[in-house]
Structure 1
Amino acid sequence: MSVLSGKKVLLGITAGIAAYKTANLVRLFIKAGADVKVVMTPASKDFITPLTLSTLSKNPVYSSFTHDEDDAVWNNHVELGLWADFLLIAPATANTMAKMANGVCDNLLMATYLSAKCPVYFAPAMDLDMYKHPTTRRSFDLLNSFGNIMIPATSGELASGLVGEGRMAEPENIVDFIERDILEGLPLKGKKMLITAGPTYEAIDPVRFIGNHSSGKMGFEIAKSAANLGAEVILISGPTHETVNHQFIKLIKIFSAAEMYTEVHNYFKDVDIAILSAAVADYRPKYVADKKIKKKADTFSIELERTQDILASLGKIKKNQFLVGFALETHNELEHAKGKLESKNLDVIVLNSLNDEGAGFGVSTNKVTFITNTNEVLSQDLKSKAEVAGDLMNLIIKQLNA
């Protein structure tokens, strides 16, 4: 999964020969998981058709203030500008950049640009002499001074037959530039994070085990939220149907509490943040049969022994790590959670109760309370587990920056 996954991309296309490359640019954004809308200048339709871009983006293409088929329907440039996470103008011709630099608003794209509150990238494309002209250089300087981000043109063969600077960056390089720029600005960039998820299964014999109903969804959502904020994530998960595909997440699958203990301790010393959301078994069979146990008596007893408390073991050895634990309680919830926070040397504990409807195992929502080691008690409403993960990341970032 790319850092562009889930991003809302507004692509502005102007009338340069490099417009033909925008079909591949749209395709790459879609492949990265972004949602793409396209705004074209009227003249750019001479170089690539709106039908092509609409088909690839799976969204209507906008090029005028009203719908082509109905002049009474307005294309709202303000809504387009506010919708986007970022605006990319590619190709950015000398003409369009001059308009951007001087506030000339004579088409839908320029009106949208002037309404946008998001970051604006622009990828210049023009012939060599135009690229070097003082007025074009002035446009570059002004646009950069406004906070716009220039994706530099490259050298190569130009439409005129000349060879030199002015060739629009290739679509793959544009996407890579934006990904790296977004990543550099993410609040968890450079942080290493360890997250545990899912249940553990404790073997009785080769076919039976003791387990719980944890789906692992909460831990996987935390991992995705952390990675989307720039963290390098080690996700250690027990058996689960959850999947993840993200360039910043390394998934390690385990089965038992003992295996999770070993993997967690392998990585803990090298991480900045550890979040233990897995539902680890407290007990395991003391003796594991090497063959399937046959049904003989009406009753059957299994002697259990305690598993190692992974969270407590980390609290004893932590140095500068920020340590977060989870507490699932059914009674005296706040009292028990505060006790675990202190006894296990945590920075934050996340309390959720099976008494809250919509919370707990096997559902897509959760209702939690964050408790910090500075005695803050922050009760949250019922939310999706993805939203809870985002709230937890925001709290950690706030605590780290305090």
Structure 2
Amino acid sequence: MLKDIMLYSAFCRQLLTHLPASKRFVLAFSGGLDSRVLLDLMARFITQNPEYSCHAVYVHHGLSTNADIWADKCVVWAKSAGISCDVERVKVLTGNRISLEQAAREARYNILAQHVNMGDMLLTAQHSDDQIETFLLALKRGSGPAGLAAMPMILPFAKGMHLRPLLNITRADIEQYGLEHKLSWVEDESNQDERYDRNFIRHQITPRLVERWPSIHKSVARSSALCGEQEALLAELLATQLAQAIQPDGSLLLASDVSQRVGMALIRQWVKKQSVLMPSLAQLEQIWFNVVQAKEDANPKLCWANVEVRRYQKKLYLLLQWDDISQWQDNIDLDSPCLLPQNLGSLVLNQEGAYPLLRQPESDEIITVRFHYQGDAIKPVGRCGSRKLKKLYQEYNVPSWLRSRTPLIFYGDKLAAVVGYFVVSEFSGHDITIDLNS
């Protein structure tokens, strides 16, 4: 009973220290032990503080045959606790060097962000054993202070904040609370699969560390906090220099005389601002030597997780990795939008517009949209001669990675326009306007 009181008191202390401006909490609810206990604690808090509300969200990844059953149970448990609950279904897409775990995590947080309104507080149930796992995974990746800082107690998220109120509580204490309060919860069979690094640490490493060093939870928390403070201090010292280096388009332009140490620190701070998985030290060094220091006429890049760093005109760009769309094409009818792949927007050829660019197609000319062209030299409107498309892209300062993602309009099998850049002279006219809606 004493531990029950202490756990609830620690939970309330975190909530009362970080109350949401909107007086609304959003609880990430998987139905597992940790979030099941968090739901119970939250119900107790709401009862004692009725001016606050809470809404639970179960994210259905579809990765287990039991997911439908878990979703139903979560709705029942939330209703019993007096808390509303939504079930959100997502499709987890892997590839581009991103693991199933990372893909599921990103899908989950993307959905949760949609439920966090202005001033709301997202609650997740990570605890001190999770912190050990995160710390060791960062150590395994060769991360620096930013990675070893592991999970902060609170941080900005979507339109509100993200709080982990159980972060200083052990898994053992959470389990004891669940048993004492006769709570039931779901058991995700994937949590036993030690092919996943986090599960291997959970079942094989953490128990031995705790057995050998009972205070390991506090030691890891202290080390993580110190790394976090060091990272915050570094960010403060580099703030002015970083602001000057970040360009209006979000790219990073490093001064020609910047040292390797400062340059790598600026790159790390720049990546951190974009909320992606941090590169390891080895990857950071590769960015410096193989991308920043590459020859001027090179087209260097470095990939990790689902992102890549590219260089163009001395500036660094952090980009998502996309699947190849060179074989994609679709017919387009006048005045009807054509939905482009990979969130590139929709394309409309309007017969009425302020800036007519294209002529009407002939009766035998089918209009298509594509992303690949390997044909003869072409002549844009207003130019004297023809050039290969690659050379034209260079003249129009189109970065190499955007060239394969720029829509091309074809009349029959002939290239008629490069959307956003030019119309081929033989297809110019006063009839059709090109509108690309991102």
Query: TM-score, with normalisation over the residues of structure 1?
Result: 0.27
Greater strand share, 1 or 2? 1
Query: TM-score, with normalisation over the residues of structure 2?
Result: 0.25
Greater helix share, 1 or 2? 2
